[in-house]
A and B are shown apart, each in its own frame.
Chain A
């Protein structure tokens, strides 16, 4: 009896939380298309997400591209020439590594800071203050952040694609001593629009996941500093898990359907 009671409560709470999150998401999406729009807030967030995440994304994708080149060479020695190595680097970086790496890095940076900032605004009543000053807090705080995430992640991933491929190239030329021209020509001929487009689509989805979860957790945090800490952790962990799940689903949709 006790078990059933507990289970019932768990299911109820889960459904309640899902419903709340769904409502929050629906409201955010609706407000994306209803004025007033806060362009200045959007610009600040675009810079915050795009510009300041560049170093981490560049570093992670660079090393990801390098390690893939190395692994392809050592792991599949019978295929190790310019052709296969450049192909494997190209496909894995554009389809998987750049979006996932950028997604996870930005989840750690931006998801956490959004949750912490909005959480602090919640517990210090700044969000309530916005409402009393005739400003809708979802329009003013949430919409610019989510929009900036959707817009900026693809840009970051595109840059990550280029840097990751360069990483593979560096290893190929300087360590594996491939012919530079052949490697570049191979990369160019193997390059397919679909690989890039699928990666950028993933990036936009991840940008949405990261920002909406960061915002939701921060916006609804309660219970002082501890609550804000919990919101930050939840934002990063849930976004990271969802990124990996959606990465699989999107790959399935793009390449297997």
Chain B
């Protein structure tokens, strides 16, 4: 594995060591090792069903790994108490695949949800904060009072992004931020991801199978295959690599070592 010396010297923001997770007989994660350094933007690529979302859910504490350790800022976060977990989660923001906005709340209530839960702020201040965050993602205050159901996919993603950054997180996760968007909107979202994370100085972990997006937002790219990280490197290294798995994935070709037949084990 290759990465620059400058990065190596710091303690990782997130460290995954030997992560295992199975569902019944389906072994999804089989020893994932990954270090993500403060301030970097790491992208995990990999085919559908390889366990990218599962990895993210383990880090967020939505799932318990079967074995292995997860460290955030050097602190072990597997088997935390509820209170301690909430404290860790306060450092993190997440943009979900389908945005996962709360249907029953208006746009501004969605955006200000985290701060309203964790800090004691008045409704007025919360709304002001929400409108500020909405401006960061290019939305005006006209959308603040409408319900998410009437937003387009791209706008939902933007609101989801505003909600993810509302609590000023150290770490932001993006689960397939560009899936289902047209190329132009995808690029807009990519730009927003770059500017918002830079503005916060946050560490970003993105999972995607959109290579255009990966190239644009990544400092480093890691490939997940067969339950393991099989390759990691910078975008430059990605183009030069001889790794047949990575080359096949990047080229988007059906021919190569990657098993395309979905293995269904029951």
B-contacting residues of A (Cβ < 8 Å)? 120-121, 124-126, 128-129, 131-136
Question: Assuming the A-B contacts A131-B62, A131-B89, A134-B89, are A125 and B100 also in contact, with contact meaning beta carbons closer than 8 angstroms in the complex?
Answer: yes
Q: How far is the CA of A124 from the CA of B103 in the complex (A)?
A: 10
Partner of A132, one of B93, B97, B101: B93
The reply to whether B60 and A131 form a contact with Cβ atoms under 8 Å apart is: yes
B102 interface residue per 8 A CB criterion: yes
Q: How far is the CA of A124 from the CA of B89 in the complex (A)?
A: 20
Question: In the complex, how many angstroms separate the beta carbon of A17 from the nearest chain B beta carbon?
Answer: 15
B9 interface residue per 8 A CB criterion: no
Kindly list chain A residues whose C-beta atoms are within 8 Å of the C-beta of B98: 124-125
Question: In the complex, how many angstroms separate the beta carbon of B97 from the nearest chain A beta carbon?
Answer: 7
Question: Assuming the A-B contacts A131-B62, A132-B92, A134-B89, are A125 and B117 also in contact, with contact meaning beta carbons closer than 8 angstroms in the complex?
Answer: no
Apart from A125-B98, A128-B57, A132-B94: 12 A-B pairs, beta carbons within 8 A: A125-B100, A126-B100, A126-B102, A128-B62, A129-B94, A131-B62, A132-B60, A133-B163, A133-B167, A134-B86, A135-B117, A136-B86
Kindly list chain A residues whose C-beta atoms are within 8 Å of the C-beta of B93: 132
Question: Assuming the A-B contacts A131-B62, A132-B94, A136-B82, are A126 and B103 also in contact, with contact meaning beta carbons closer than 8 angstroms in the complex?
Answer: yes
Partner of B118, one of A124, A126, A129, A134: A134
A-B contact pairs, 17 of them (CB 8 A): A120-B103, A121-B102, A126-B100, A126-B102, A128-B57, A129-B100, A129-B101, A131-B60, A131-B89, A132-B60, A132-B62, A132-B89, A132-B93, A133-B113, A134-B114, A134-B118, A135-B113
Kindly list chain B residues whose C-beta atoms are within 8 Å of the C-beta of A121: 102-103
Kindly list chain A residues whose C-beta atoms are within 8 Å of the C-beta of B103: 120-121, 126
Q: How far is the CA of A85 from the CA of B89 in the complex (A)?
A: 64
Q: How far is the CA of A126 from the CA of B99 in the complex (A)?
A: 9
Q: How far is the CA of A131 from the CA of B61 in the complex (A)?
A: 9
B96 interface residue per 8 A CB criterion: yes
Kindly list chain A residues whose C-beta atoms are within 8 Å of the C-beta of B89: 131-134
